[in-house]
Structure 1
Amino acid sequence: MVTACSQTWQQNIDQWDLSAGTSQAIDLVTACSWPSAVVYASVTGQCAVIGTPYAATDRNLANLAEFTIPGSGNQDFYDLSSVNAYTIPMSINAPTGCSSITCSIGDISFFCQPNNVLQTLPTGALSCVNT
């Protein structure tokens, strides 16, 4: 089970609990806007800080899929970021005309070198956190 989180700008945080082999689509048809948005896997199983609006619990312990829709020049932008940490493989399957991207690290213990710390999370998952 993976707890997936998404947040746009400084707004509410959405949470989905996904079983292995499943995915979650985020429908932007009605909003047509997703500025400064991120999607990440929660390492604690709880995306938001209870009682604190718009506060993420563990966003800094996860790799991020980042989106700006629409962006500069009415173009959409997306990327995968492991600047803060790397926890799970991620991919963005883009529509026709755009490139799909994937970030997957086979051996996180080997990858996680000094200036980073390998943390074992309460769930048993490993996270390589940039220090």
Structure 2
Amino acid sequence: MSLAPLLEAAPAIPLHAFAAMAAFVLGLVQFAAPKGTLPHRTVGWIWVALMVVVATSSFWIHGIRLVGSFGPIHLLSIFTLVVLPVAVWRAHTHRVTDHRRIMIFIFTGALVVAGVFTLVPGRIMHRVIFGS
């Protein structure tokens, strides 16, 4: 495993990748930790900020192009940027079930499922993890 392919990429790519990895780890912490506490809210705000960085930085990554220079990752990013404030608002208004459902959906869809696609041969993260 070598970070060289990631660190040699255009600046948006390592920013995107490191923010996504940090959001993934913090997301796991959030799922395991007690809910409704000050640490949960603090880590939650950091997670939301990281997800905004992940989603926003994707607009400078154009590896898969379907319409012009945009691909499916950009649709997911738009969705994430729209739904994140809704999830935060649901927590703020004590609609915890909705908040939990939306956050789980964002975590699994925007981080886990999209993250798996970064391991496809030919992608930078494939070279980082598998070295080829």
Q: TM-score, normalised by structure 1?
A: 0.27
More helix by share: 2
Of structures 1 and 2, the one scoring higher in RCO (CA 8 A, sep 6+) is: 2
More strand by share: 1
Q: TM-score, normalised by structure 2?
A: 0.27
